[in-house]
Structures are given as structure tokens and as C-alpha cells.
């Protein structure tokens, strides 16, 4: 307001000067100069007006992005009373079993303090992520449900487990023209979203499930794959974390699940959560972070987290021929490598990396050994289960622009298509990797 006040004074003084000058000299030149000044004044006014609008809009925007959508299950009158006190007269909760409203993070934590269990329902204010083309958890879920309804002969939708904090379902979709239990040529597992702040992999999975279902009837290459191979896709291994990143405030940093490490019954961003790709039982915690505050906290024990127990159980129920685990970022394909690397895994990583062009320039994704002393998924898959498994660091940023995102998804889909072509020849595939896995077992 002070800024506007000062501007008003300056403009007033300017106008006063002009009035005096007009009386003193009136000639042609002076009239032109006067017109010029008037134009300047109008421009100044416009500038002030626009600045004011800009300031108002950005301040409003800042406030807006701090808002989250909160939902609370109300199971008894005590909880209803607390929620009612909080909401005032906005809603009558005397018989409510559930209430949903928009408020700030401050309110979210205050509700936790009061003994309720508020949940982030949906990201109402994550315009940026939505604009960039990312899909939030509810959208991923409904895409899977839609595909399951639209392509019942091709898909099986399964809840394979539930998350540590909110108990959200972890879902997997099986895509194949072969009946469940039917002997298939090969089985491919794709996972993404171990890490909450790596939504690129989720988009790759979403794209692939859509592509495979929609093209089975019209593309002979897709038909050949799905007639012989089963593809399992788990797009969001960490639904708690994934839901959280769409609430804006923590989205750039949150990597872990939402394990209640300090056992206080609520989510404490400073000390809760386990890094799900540090919790597998292969060299678990050898060089891992054991502090709960760490972004890479490996958890209290191997497989302490229900999210990856779900992956373990799925793996034990199926005979996967290959596993690809999507992460970001780095444009790399990482292969399990104990003391020495299995040459065939290196070759596989190289051939897959060669399918993917890097965003800047014409060269392809690079390969590198996984750091195998920290309980990662691909290490466990390969060394414990004998399943060739690679970690793909897709793209060169965590939250790429919309056009970069679709280019990254396209490159990674190409790599998966390449793999599906290789998998069609089962005999060759199985022989080559069982050998390399055995030669490298602990
Ligand atoms: Zn990751």
C-alpha cells in the first residue's frame, strides 16, 4: 500500500507542474510536449495497475498452493466432536462417518495433534505437476480399473498389498492374452514408484499398459507379444509417498514411504519414512543409512516395509523372466554387480541402453553397476531370486516439462518393446540368464 501511496503523490506533483506550465507558455511545441507528458502519465498509471494486479495474483497463488484436501474418517462421537470443533458451523458432523475439506498444512498437523488421523485426499493444488502431464494416484488407479473393464480378456487387476501409513492398496495389472496359470513363453515384470519423487517411471508404466491393451487388436507386433508373454506392471510401489508429492509442499524432496518411525501415530516429515529401495534383503544395510532422519533410511530390518513385501510375494507367486525397475533421473541403465559383474547382465544392460536416445544429443543411455551394498530391489531380484533385473534411471530430471516427459516415456517404451521382442524366444532367454545368475550367486 505504501508503494501505491507514494506513486499517487508523485503523479499528483507531476500533474500540478503540468498545469502551471500550460498557463505560462502556450505555443505549438509546448502543446506537443504536454501531450507527451500525458501519455507518460497514463503509461505510469497502467504500470502501477498491472504491478498491483501481479502482486495480488502471485500472493494469492502462494496462499493457494499451501492448501491441501483433507479427509478424516470419524469412527466415534469423540472424534466427531473434535472435528466439529475444528470446522465450526461449516458442516454438521453429528452423524458423519467421514468428512472432507480444504485447509492448510498447519491445520493438517493441528488435526493430527488433536488425535485425529487426517489424510491427504487428493491434490487440489498441484497445478504444476498436472500441467506437466503427471497423473496422481487416483488417476493411475482409475486408469487401471478402466483398462480392466474395457479389456477383461487381456487384463487381471490385483491388489498385491497395502501401504505402511495410509493402508492404500498397491496394485498390479497382468496383461496377457493367455489365461492366468497358462504356461507362457516368458513373463516380464515392470515396477515404478519405489521413490515418491520419481513420477516419470509411473508415467512410463501408465503409457505401456495403455499401449499394450489398446493395440492388441490392431498391431500384430503387440498381438504376438501378448499371445505368448505375460506382462505384469506395478506402477506405484509407494502409494503413500506418491500421494504426498502431489500435495506440493513436500513434493520436491519426499522419496521414502510414510512409515511412522517414531511411533507417534502421525506423519512427521523430519523423521518418518523408509527408503523402499534400501529395504530388500540382499546386502541390506551393509552400507545403508540407519538413521531415521536420512532420506535413504534402510528401515529397522530387511523387508520391514509392507510395500516391498508385496513385491516379494508377487515375485514368489510368479516366474518372472525379467524385471525392469523404473527410477529417475540420469539416463542410465544400472545392472546388479556383486564383486564382479555378470557379463551377460552387462550385455543385456548395454543392449537396452542402446535403444534409448539421451535428451541432449544423439548418444544413448549409459550403463553402470548398481551399488550393491544397500539392499536394492534389482540386486535382490538377481542374486536372491535368479531373475535378471535392471534399474533404469529414466530421463535427465525428476519433474521434466510436458514435452520432455513424453519424449522420455517414448524412449523407455522403445526399450521395453525391444525386451518384449527378445522375450518371445523363451528357450534362448532362460538359458542365458540362469547361467549368468548362478555364476554370480553369493
Ligand atoms: Zn529411485
SS3 content of the chain, % helix, strand, coil (to 5): 45, 15, 40
Between CA 150 and CA 210 the distance in angstroms is 11
How much distance in Å is there from the Cα of 296 to the middle of ligand 1? 10
List of residues 6+ apart from 294 with CB closer than 8 A? 275
How much distance in Å is there from the Cα of 302 to the middle of ligand 1? 18
Give the SS3 label for residue 168.
coil
Query: Residue 442's pLDDT is what?
Result: 38
Q: Which residues are found with C-beta within 5 Å of the ion, ligand 1?
A: 195, 198, 327
How much distance in Å is there from the Cα of 325 to the middle of ligand 1? 9
Cis check: omega of the bond before 329, within 30 degrees of 0:
yes
27, β-bridge pairs: none
Q: Are 316 and 383 in contact (CB under 8 A)?
A: no
Largest CA distance in the chain: 102
How much distance in Å is there from the Cα of 282 to the middle of ligand 1? 17
How much distance in Å is there from the Cα of 328 to the middle of ligand 1? 6
Return the CATH superfamily for domain 128-440. Zn peptidases (3.40.630.10)
How much distance in Å is there from the Cα of 156 to the middle of ligand 1? 27
Residue 243 grid coordinates: 500421494
Residue 43 grid coordinates: 503509461
How much distance in Å is there from the Cα of 329 to the middle of ligand 1? 8
CA 332 to chain centre: 18
Give the SS3 label for residue 325.
strand
How much distance in Å is there from the Cα of 190 to the middle of ligand 1? 14
Q: Are 412 and 420 in contact (CB under 8 A)?
A: no
392, β-bridge pairs: 326, 333
Query: Residue 120's pLDDT is what?
Result: 64
How much distance in Å is there from the Cα of 192 to the middle of ligand 1? 9
How much distance in Å is there from the Cα of 394 to the middle of ligand 1? 10
Query: Residue 64's pLDDT is what?
Result: 41
What's this model's pTM, rounded to 2 decimal places?
0.72
Between CA 172 and CA 234 the distance in angstroms is 4
Residue 83 grid coordinates: 472435528
Q: Are 206 and 171 in contact (CB under 8 A)?
A: no
How much distance in Å is there from the Cα of 354 to the middle of ligand 1? 21
Residue 170 grid coordinates: 498397491
How much distance in Å is there from the Cα of 102 to the middle of ligand 1? 31
Q: Give pLDDT tens digits along the chain (442 positions).
A: 455 556 555 555 556 565 555 555 557 788 888 899 999 999 989 988 888 777 666 554 444 445 666 778 788 899 999 999 888 887 888 887 778 788 876 787 788 888 887 776 544 345 567 777 889 898 899 999 999 999 999 999 999 999 999 999 999 999 999 998 777 779 999 999 999 999 999 999 999 999 999 999 999 999 999 999 999 999 999 999 998 888 755 555 789 999 999 998 888 888 999 999 999 999 999 999 999 999 999 999 999 999 999 999 999 999 999 999 999 999 999 999 987 778 889 999 999 999 999 988 789 999 999 989 999 999 999 999 999 999 999 999 888 888 999 999 999 999 999 999 999 876 566 566 654 444 444 3
Residue 247 grid coordinates: 500435495
Name the residue ranges covered by the structural domains of the chain: 65-121, 128-440
Between CA 52 and CA 45 the distance in angstroms is 11
How much distance in Å is there from the Cα of 163 to the middle of ligand 1? 18
47-to-8, 36, 59, 61, 174 alpha-carbon distances in Å: 12, 16, 18, 21, 59
How much distance in Å is there from the Cα of 442 to the middle of ligand 1? 25
DSSP state of 14: H
How much distance in Å is there from the Cα of 396 to the middle of ligand 1? 13
Query: Residue 9's pLDDT is what?
Result: 58
Between CA 343 and CA 200 the distance in angstroms is 29
- Full strand arrangement of the beta sheet holding 119-120: 98-104, 67-73, 119-120
Amino acid at each position: 500500500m505504501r508503494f501505491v501511496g507514494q506513486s499517487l503523490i508523485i503523479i499528483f506533483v507531476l500533474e500540478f507542474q503540468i498545469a502551471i506550465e500550460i498557463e505560462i507558455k502556450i505555443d505549438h511545441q509546448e502543446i506537443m510536449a504536454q501531450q507527451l507528458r500525458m501519455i507518460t502519465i497514463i503509461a505510469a498509471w497502467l504500470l502501477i495497475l498491472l504491478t498491483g494486479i501481479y502482486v495480488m495474483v502471485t500472493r494469492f497463488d502462494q496462499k493457494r498452493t499451501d492448501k491441501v484436501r483433507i479427509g478424516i474418517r470419524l469412527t466415534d462421537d469423540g472424534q466427531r466432536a473434535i472435528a466439529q470443533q475444528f470446522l465450526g458451523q461449516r458442516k454438521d458432523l453429528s452423524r458423519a462417518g467421514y468428512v472432507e475439506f480444504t485447509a492448510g498444512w498447519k491445520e493438517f498437523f493441528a488435526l493430527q495433534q488433536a488425535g485425529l488421523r487426517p489424510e491427504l485426499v487428493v491434490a487440489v493444488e498441484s497445478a504444476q505437476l498436472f500441467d506437466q502431464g503427471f497423473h496422481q494416484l487416483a488417476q493411475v488407479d482409475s486408469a487401471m480399473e478402466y483398462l480392466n473393464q474395457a479389456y477383461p480378456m487381456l487384463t487381471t487387476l490385483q491388489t498385491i498389498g497395502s501401504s505402511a501409513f495410509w493402508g492404500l492398496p498397491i496394485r498390479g495389472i497382468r496383461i496377457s492374452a493367455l489365461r492366468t496359470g497358462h504356461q507362457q513363453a516368458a513373463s516380464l515384470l515392470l515396477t515404478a514408484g519405489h521413490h515418491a519423487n520419481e513420477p516419470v517411471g509411473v508415467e512410463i508404466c501408465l503409457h505401456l499398459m495403455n499401449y499394450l491393451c489398446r493395440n492388441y487388436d490392431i498391431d500384430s507386433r503387440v498381438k504376438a507379444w501378448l499371445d505368448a508373454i505375460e506382462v505384469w506392471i506395478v506402477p506405484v510401489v509407494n502409494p503413500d509417498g506418491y500421494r504426498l508429492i502431489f500435495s506440493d509442499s513436500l513434493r520436491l524432496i519426499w522419496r521414502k514411504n510414510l512409515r511412522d518411525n517414531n511411533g507417534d501415530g502421525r506423519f512427521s516429515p523430519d523423521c518418518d519414512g523408509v527408503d523402499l529401495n534400501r529395504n530388500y534383503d540382499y546386502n541390506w544395510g551393509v552400507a545403508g543409512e540407519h538413521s531415521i532422519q536420512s532420506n535413504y533410511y534402510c528401515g529397522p530390518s530387511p523387508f520391514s516395509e509392507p510395500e516391498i513385501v508385496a513385491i516379494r510375494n508377487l515375485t514368489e507367486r510368479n516366474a518372472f523372466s525379467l524385471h525392469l525397475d523404473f527410477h529417475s533421473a540420469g539416463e542410465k541403465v544400472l545392472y546388479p554387480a556383486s564383486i564382479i559383474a555378470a557379463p551377460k547382465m552387462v550385455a543385456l544392460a548395454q543392449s537396452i541402453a542402446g535403444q534409448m536416445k539421451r535428451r541432449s544429443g544423439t548418444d544413448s543411455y549409459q550403463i553402470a553397476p548398481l551399488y550393491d551394498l544397500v539392499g536394492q530391489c534389482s540386486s535382490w531380484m538377481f542374486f536372491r531370486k535368479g531373475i535378471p533385473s535392471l534399474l533404469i534411471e529414466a530421463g535427465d530430471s525428476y519433474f521434466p516439462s510436458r514435452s520432455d516427459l513424453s519424449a522420455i516415456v517414448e524412449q523407455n517404451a522403445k526399450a521395453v518393446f525391444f525386451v518384449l521382442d527378445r522375450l518371445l524366444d523363451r528357450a534362448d532367454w532362460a538359458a542365458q540368464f540362469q547361467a549368468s545368475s548362478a555364476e554370480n550367486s553369493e
